A and B are shown apart, each in its own frame.
Chain A
Amino acid sequence: MKFWKFQKVFLAALFLAALLTACGGRTGDEGDKEEQGGIRDSVVIAIGSEPETLDPTKGWGHGNSPIVQSTLVRYTADLTFENDLAATYQLSEDRLTWTFTLREDAFFTDGERVTASDVVFTLETAKAARGSVDLTYMEEAVALDEQTVAISLSKPTSIFLNTLASIGIVPEHAYSEDYGRNPIGSGPYQLAEWRPQEQIIFTANENYYGGAPAIKRVTVVFMSEDAALAAVQAGEGDVAYSSATLGKTLVKGYHVEAIPSADNRGFTLPMAPDEGKTTENGAPIGNDVTCHLEIRQAIAYAIDRQLVADMVLNGFGRPAYSENDGMPWNNPEVKIETDLDYGRKLLADAGWQDRDGDGIVEKDGVKAEFTCIYPAGDSVRQAVAMAAAEQVLAVGIKIHVEGVSWDEITERMFSHAVMMGWGSSSPNETYYLYRSQGALLDDFYNPEGYESEVTDHYLQAAMEASTAEEANGCWQKVQWDGSVGTAMKGACPWVWIVNLDHVTYVRDGLSIGEQPIHGHGHGLPLIQNLEEWSWEDQTGAER
């Protein structure tokens, strides 16, 4: 794969050069406008990975706003909701029926009005697609009239608004198989051009009901982080997604914005002993070392998370204690202090001792050593895993760190520790991570095999809660209810280590708005608030 990376650097450089020449040509045409305004109205953004589709029913915009389409409700920067396409909405007494009234000034970019039947069509299509949007609990959606839609659920679901906030409404009249490549929506931007593996160009939707965005033309190019840094150093591109390891490099004319994220990294630790069992696909289950609670907790207490964030992530990160630190549905109780002595005590109390003097503890003939796998090529995961492994050696646990392919991870994740990453702006991630039903599935959520009736009870309660506050209380109890929970001082299925900041180079003079806390993703979360971006002064206009 390295070969491609290398080639990409080259191609990217060539391509950017071509692009800029092209831009130069265009300024001639648009010159008048720019000189009058004195401020540029286009940006070039380099991000790490290309979206597979722009079809919201198939996963586009999942976890962040879809920009081409608009949603019924949307997140605010502090992760509450505000109306978007919806003018008003209400929930019935039994918490099973949501009724939305649409605003009247919303139009698709082909001039058609956004109606209730489009909403119905979108939800039914997304439900049938069974993609990354889980709508299995939606009974049916019915258009009551042109502007009103009633959605009935099979069970009360408090995260329904989170789900709606990530489904862009697609037009029923202009939807076809290749909609994902030729989307029409009612969002602040429209797709102008998509060259696969190269770039996507968005142009502003002048008729957007929220007001035409300040940035008129957005070019998104795809390149690896080091290629993006090289491009920025050459003064090309306005915004570039980067990584913690590269973010310390100072580049003239740019500043680095470290955007807080829920994008976390930590170990998943198999909770069952190795009894020779396998999953349906034949992947072995269980690990004789990590199945012991005291081992998992000793690891959790041995890691100095702040040190890892400072040294490995260059300070572009914060300690992680759960999958959702800093979110309203996070329980502050999950926090633990680094305590080597406590870790050693946990091991000693359970009978783990170093009898042969090699620094690694044993019990019943089992040495406290195991292998942690990570996707080869992900330097941040490798570095975090190796730093953590170095630290837990102090309590007598040896972790071998091994880089493998994702295919191999799928086969080995039920029996080995994995340096995994999650992070979402919706609490439903907690649901998927810890529900018993999801244990040992291939979806990477619960490879450690965590199952607990207590947790299932709280998860259910959170889903059925009538208000966000009530739901948040239940989500918090999933993590720690005072005696048990998924937290590291509880059952400790995960040892969370760090939350990554999303390191981004931004050209001086460009404002990228108030970025909401980013979820897991390689640069895509960055563009979710494009309509808030603007050039502040003229310095940015100089090339």
Chain B
Amino acid sequence: MRSLNRRKKLLLLTVGMGVVFFGIYGLGILIPEEWVAGSFLSARQPPSLAHPFGTDALGRDLLLRTLKGLSVSTTVGLIASGVSAVIALLVGIAAATGSRWMDGAISWLIDLVMGVPHTILIILISFAMGRGLKGLLVGIAATHWCSLARLIRGEVLQLRSQQYVAVSRKLGKSSGWILIYHLLPHLLPQFFVGLVLMFPHAILHEAAISFLGFGLPPEQPAIGIILSESMGYLSAGLWWPAVLPGLTLVLLVLLVDNLGEQLQSLFDPSSAQE
């Protein structure tokens, strides 16, 4: 390993984490529905070799259900944070390059959305959209773009006052040309890091809202559902349906969070060459 410099190590680590993450994701998607169905004859079994995570009150294998649930949650997280990041990018650029009036309006909107607690806003939106996957996606996407939008807006404002942008403008380049050739290349690292760091938020919110019963329907294997079902059996001594899937969720979120930080230090010019 000595031959590798820090940047290469970091790159390997990041790729490794990415592989683990997409491995879990792919595994979850590949598991057929029938496997998760289980049998009521094997209900409430503690962890064993046959069922490493045990089985729940309906006899479903919790390891399979957790993996399946993680892939559902990941899909929700990816789509919601992707949409959210794109909104943030567009809104951020619009605010910084548009008129003063538009900037004011967008800043006000950002303050407004950030002023309401996320969970409550997601519950309201999800409820209004008739719950289910759609409501959850829209709810998460509509609430998570604010801080990234604000960051991008600041970045664009700063970039616009740079010399080379002013020179381009004097040379007669259009705003669109400047946006594509000067602004976007600078914004992309911010965008991707923001996207990755938004993902754990999205996934945790998905689990929280489903846990509270406003998100996915109860048959869907999602982590929030598994956890909220396990609540009813905690007092009867069934610890494994709560602890093991919960831990898995925490590990996945930590993994992605760490991945985001690695990406940041790779992309960020000030730390990229360390």
Residues of A in contact with B (beta carbons under 8 Å apart):
1-3, 5-6, 225-227, 229-230, 233, 245-246, 248-249, 307-308, 311-312, 376-377, 379, 382-383, 386-387, 390, 401-404
Known contacts A311-B43, A376-B217, A382-B218, then 12 further A-B pairs from the complex at CB < 8 Å, ordered by chain A residue? A2-B228, A3-B212, A5-B231, A226-B232, A226-B233, A229-B235, A229-B236, A245-B236, A382-B58, A383-B40, A383-B58, A404-B217
A226-B37 CB under 8 A given contacts A379-B229, A402-B217:
no
Report yes or no: A249 in contact with B237, Cβ–Cβ below 8 A: yes
A2-B211 CB under 8 A given contacts A229-B236, A383-B40:
yes
Tell me which residues across on chain B come within 8 A of A3, comparing CB atoms: 212-213
Residues of B in contact with A (beta carbons under 8 Å apart):
37, 39-41, 43, 57-58, 211-213, 217-219, 228-229, 231-237
Q: Which residue of A lies closest to B42 (CB)?
A: A311
Q: Which residue of B lies closest to A384 (CB)?
A: B40
A230 to B237, CA, bound (A): 11
Report yes or no: A386 in contact with B40, Cβ–Cβ below 8 A: yes
A245-B233 CB under 8 A given contacts A312-B43, A383-B58, A386-B58:
yes
Q: Which residue of A lies closest to B234 (CB)?
A: A226
A148 to B224, CA, bound (A): 62
A5 to B40, CA, bound (A): 26
Report yes or no: B219 in contact with A2, Cβ–Cβ below 8 A: no
A422 to B120, CA, bound (A): 37
- Chain A interface helix/strand/loop/mixed: helix
Report yes or no: A403 in contact with B237, Cβ–Cβ below 8 A: no
Interchain Cβ contacts under 8 Å between A and B, 19 examples: A2-B228, A3-B213, A6-B231, A225-B232, A226-B232, A227-B235, A230-B235, A245-B233, A249-B235, A249-B236, A307-B41, A312-B40, A376-B218, A377-B218, A383-B43, A383-B57, A390-B37, A390-B40, A404-B217
Shortest CB-to-CB span from A358 to chain B, Å, is 11
Tell me which residues across on chain A come within 8 A of B232, comparing CB atoms: 225-226, 245, 379
Q: Which residue of B lies closest to A405 (CB)?
A: B131
Tell me which residues across on chain B come within 8 A of A386, comparing CB atoms: 40, 58
Ranked nearest first, the 8 interchain pairs of A and B with the lowest CB-CB distance are A387-B40, A403-B218, A2-B213, A229-B235, A230-B235, A3-B212, A226-B235, A249-B236
A402-B231 CB under 8 A given contacts A377-B213, A383-B58, A390-B39:
no
Report yes or no: B40 in contact with A1, Cβ–Cβ below 8 A: no
A379-B235 CB under 8 A given contacts A311-B41, A402-B217, A402-B219:
no
A3 to B213, CA, bound (A): 8
Shortest CB-to-CB span from A340 to chain B, Å, is 16
A1-B231 CB under 8 A given contacts A245-B236, A249-B236, A386-B58:
no
Shortest CB-to-CB span from A274 to chain B, Å, is 23
Report yes or no: A403 in contact with B217, Cβ–Cβ below 8 A: yes
Give the one of A2, A227, A229, A390 with max B CB within 10 A. A2
Tell me which residues across on chain A come within 8 A of B211, comparing CB atoms: 2
Tell me which residues across on chain B come within 8 A of A1, comparing CB atoms: 212-213
Report yes or no: A379 in contact with B57, Cβ–Cβ below 8 A: yes
Tell me which residues across on chain A come within 8 A of B217, comparing CB atoms: 376, 402-404
Q: Which residue of B lies closest to A401 (CB)?
A: B219
A226 to B236, CA, bound (A): 8
Tell me which residues across on chain A come within 8 A of B40, comparing CB atoms: 308, 311-312, 383, 386-387, 390
Report yes or no: A246 in contact with B236, Cβ–Cβ below 8 A: yes
A23 to B237, CA, bound (A): 29
Q: Which residue of A lies closest to B229 (CB)?
A: A379
Tell me which residues across on chain B come within 8 A of A230, comparing CB atoms: 235
Tell me which residues across on chain A come within 8 A of B235, comparing CB atoms: 226-227, 229-230, 233, 246, 249
A227 to B235, CA, bound (A): 8
Tell me which residues across on chain B come within 8 A of A248, comparing CB atoms: 236
Q: Which residue of B lies closest to A378 (CB)?
A: B218
Shortest CB-to-CB span from A360 to chain B, Å, is 12
A248 to B236, CA, bound (A): 8
Tell me which residues across on chain A come within 8 A of B39, comparing CB atoms: 390
Shortest CB-to-CB span from B99 to chain A, Å, is 43
Give the one of B211, B218, B228, B233 with max A CB within 10 A. B218
Tell me which residues across on chain A come within 8 A of B37, comparing CB atoms: 390
Tell me which residues across on chain A come within 8 A of B229, comparing CB atoms: 379
A387 to B37, CA, bound (A): 10
Shortest CB-to-CB span from A373 to chain B, Å, is 11
A49 to B41, CA, bound (A): 31
Tell me which residues across on chain A come within 8 A of B43, comparing CB atoms: 311-312, 383
